[in-house]
Structure 1
């Protein structure tokens, strides 16, 4: 889980992370802690859409107001990490007419929603498998286009909304729709620890945090800073990492042998392998990197086989063995 979150932070094009597993295993805690590891970003000051001052959205009402010069004063802010509650209304998610302003002076003013706030950041959905279908449809449209189009109440607003989708849930409570499942670049399983030493360490750390939160955070600030610096350095190396032709062939052969639908599997696998190579400061992607990310990149993209194991993980492992160990 930690590796998948780090890789998504290095290269958001991977497509996000889905974390499924037992209740009480720290899924939400780990995902929300990701925000502290991300470097800050530059945005246009006071822009509700987090526009990049070097490349603001062409139709942003704040950065490019009609009949006025662009206002591009920049500021540095933490990477947006927005929670999408299960009970959120459609207006809260996509945005709607500002009723207070409309009633006060009759002006039609758009009030941006969560999709605007999540632009250039992370959108987190806890219990994602319980998300209502109409919100799933909205997310699919925006994830595919990178834009949020609002046509309602006499308003016609379009604004950029590119975010890393992160979800968590317990598979016992229901399955995800295949269309939404396919939008996650990486999918991992988290199980309750069965090693006594690990469970004791969890108790020890939780007790330390409850006793003195400030001291606990100070103790772990050093390792967090080191990890943040590694993420920043890995991002800088992305453009330079080399992907040999045999690696591309291995990626295609692996997905072909598993019968994955579409080509998102190849893209997610390749991007995750490149991000891992950068994180490990390796100049070239090789078999080691592919093996390390193949299961989270492909396990959720295969059709279910009722005659095979319930989990797709053994099928990916067998395909890797046939590809590299034959």
Structure 2
């Protein structure tokens, strides 16, 4: 057994050496709003994902891919298409759960990087959700399920670039799975469910059209990214990118300490999140802001509370401050405001104005 384990490790390290080098998260200049939203969702996936809207060429995809590289390895059952957690029944695939319930303690376990699944724009519902082989089910009496992208994304990140160009029905399916943590496929009276817990990250360019308001509302946070206008900063970004392209290995090594520090910060924040408290008075004021901005439903209140707690945990504190709420509330509410076609002011500024009115 130790020999096979060491062989697995050798294969994993060889695979790591040959895979395409990823730009370090710590090396990304600017775009603090997008980076913070992504980190908070990693600390508390129940925030509900991030919608990143901004100009072309502002590093949206690069930042999302960098985030995956920052995340800690997870324990998975070897050969399982659902990345099943050997210790948590809630995120086990059907077969693994069945084996555990039958008392099987010999499941082969390994550690793996958290997966990031890219959803192609032309993906069909079968490709996303998976398919049931009806013929096999009827002739052999077994539930022959071919897992889709949602199975692969379990315990990882599902990234949809140009989400505003994706078919509304597919966006609905993704959001339903992200909210419930489960994917159910039904064909000809046969039904199969499997865990699909992932962080949903969508990005898009507003020039190519907006998402419908009811779909936008389902994303936990909304980050806006703009083109950097400062000439000095632009030069720095270009130089850093050139340095990375010239020698990715050396470039990554130069950010090793910063990356490690950030990894420890995330790990510590995830461990301490449950201990973070938010005063009743602050919760009332958050709800007052939502109410006075005419935000429909209660998602805005819930997400703002969660995001503020995650930020406090990231900063190593066990209680939420007014500053924490001020930092996250525009990202939690700006996409939930009713759009006035004649309004030229940014909805994030409207949220901040109302915040200071209520909290002053």
- Report TM bin, short chain: over 0.9
Do 1:140 and 1:179's aligned partners in 2 also have CA atoms closer than 8 Å? no
Counterpart among 193, 202, 227 of residue 237 in structure 2: 202
When structure 1 is superposed on structure 2, of 148-157 and 275-284 the one drifting more is: 148-157
> C-alpha displacement at 1:13, in angstroms?
0.8
Query: C-alpha displacement at 1:153, in angstroms?
Result: 5.9
Q: Which residue of 2 aligns with 1:12?
A: 45
The corresponding residue for 2:57 is 24
Is the Cα contact below 8 Å between 2:48 and 2:178 reproduced in 1? no
| Cα distance in 2 for residues equivalent to 1:97 and 1:7 | 36
Q: Does 1:226 align with 2:234?
A: no
1:318 aligns with 2:326: no
Structure 1 counterpart of 2:98:
64
Q: Structure 1 3/140 Cα, relative in aligned 2: closer, same or farther at 3 Å?
A: closer
Residue 46 of structure 1 aligns to a residue whose secondary structure is coil
Residue 75 of structure 2, aligned match among 25, 35, 42:
42
More helix by share: 2
1:298 has 2:298 as partner: no
Aligned to 1:308: 343
8 Å CA contact 1:110–1:155 kept in 2: the answer is: no
What is the CA distance between 1:309 and its match in structure 2? 2.8
| Residues 75 and 110 in structure 2, CA contact (< 8 A), matched pair in contact too | yes
Provide closer, same or farther for how the CA distance between residues 106 and 323 of structure 1 changes in structure 2, counting only shifts above 3 A.
closer
1:119 to 147, 150, 154: 154
CA distance in 1, matches of 2:160, 2:135: 29
Partner of 2:201: 166
- CA deviation after TM superposition for structure 1 residue 108, in Å: 5.5
The answer to whether 1:286 aligns with 2:321 is yes
Shift of 1:47: 1.8
Q: Distance in 1 between matches of 2:124 and 2:220?
A: 26
How far residue 236 of structure 1 moved from its aligned partner, in angstroms, is 1.1
Q: Contact between 2:82 and 2:93, CA under 8 Å: does it hold in 1? A: no
Of 116, 122, 127, the match for 1:81: 116
Question: Using the alignment, how far apart are the partners of 1:5 and 1:86 within structure 2?
Answer: 22
Q: Tell me, which stretches of 5 or more residues in structure 2 are unaligned?
A: 1-33
Q: After TM superposition, give the deviation of residue 298 of structure 1 in Å.
A: 0.6
- Measure how far apart 1:307 and its partner are: 4.4
SS for the counterpart of 1:275 is helix
Question: Residue in 2 aligned with 1:277?
Answer: 312
CA contact (8 A) 2:40 2:310 kept: yes
Q: Is the 8 A contact 2:330 2:349 kept in 1?
A: no
SS of the residue corresponding to residue 61 of structure 1 reads helix
How many residue pairs end up in the alignment? Answer: 324
TM-score by length of 1: 0.92
Taking the TM superposition and a 5 Å limit, the aligned residue runs for 1:86-165 are 86-97=121-132, 109-152=144-187, 155-165=190-200
Report the TM-score, using the length of structure 2 for normalisation: 0.84
State the SS of the aligned residue for 1:23: coil
* Aligned mates of 1:173, 1:276 — CA distance in 2: 32
- SS of residue paired to 2:159: strand
Query: Residues 265-319 of structure 1, C-alpha deviation per residue, up to 9 Å, x if partnerless?
Result: 0111111100111111122101010001011011001111234335211211210
Give secondary structure in 2 for the equivalent of 1:297.
Answer: helix
User: Please, what is the CA RMSD of the aligned residues?
Assistant: 2.4
Deviations 1:35-55 (A, max 9, x none): 011111222222211222122
* Pick aligned residue for 1:177 from 196, 212, 215: 212
Alignment partners' CA distance in 2, 1:73 and 1:179? 43
What is the alpha-carbon distance in structure 2 between the residues aligned to residue 184 and residue 318 of structure 1?
A: 23
Secondary structure in structure 2 of the residue aligned to 1:64: helix
